[in-house]
Amino acid sequence: MKPFFHALRLLVQPVQGWRTIADADHSLASVLLWQTIPMALIPAACWYYGVSQVGWQVAGETMRLTAASALPLCVLFFLAMISGVLFMGFMVRWMSTVYGKEGTFTTGVALISFTATPFFVFGLLGLYPLLWLDITLGVAVACYCIYLLYRGVSPMMKVPEDRGILYASALFAVA
């Protein structure tokens, strides 16, 4: 359960959080089971509730999806988040030799999963879908995730700061 607590620290103390995460010995199973999957469940479950029970306003009318139509969409949303973390983890691993280190797939998945933590937590807004609020906060959360990526590449991948900036820029371009 340590990855979950590392993620919370990362949100409030990013520099120290990345050092702690980089020093920890994570297995792929622990990152997926204690960080990625539980965090990805937050937006999927919240948006399921929000679009099927609360709905959103369109031209003064409340629009809702039926539970039967919302469920497969939210399951696919959940699977897409997990797949995205795994794909980007592969890209971190694939690019590692270019930036001076031989990284592992596990380190790549951990880097991306922890970087995406604000997006996962932001998914709580799905409980009450409000377009202008979701877009406004979504932009702020995206900026914070980019900041976390740039702060996290160097300690996680054990590369110098100057190489870390280039590495993070390449990852950002892929994302």
* Residue 61 region by backbone torsions, left for phi larger than 0, else alpha for psi between -120 and 50, else beta: beta
Q: Closest Cα partner for 106 from 85, 94, 89?
A: 89
Instruction: Spell out, as residue ranges, where the chain has pLDDT lower than 50.
Output: none
Residue 158: phi and psi, rounded to 5, are 55, 50
Distances (CA, A) of 132 to 56, 88, 136, 138, 146: 11, 29, 6, 10, 21
Instruction: Say what the pLDDT of residue 56 is.
Output: 84
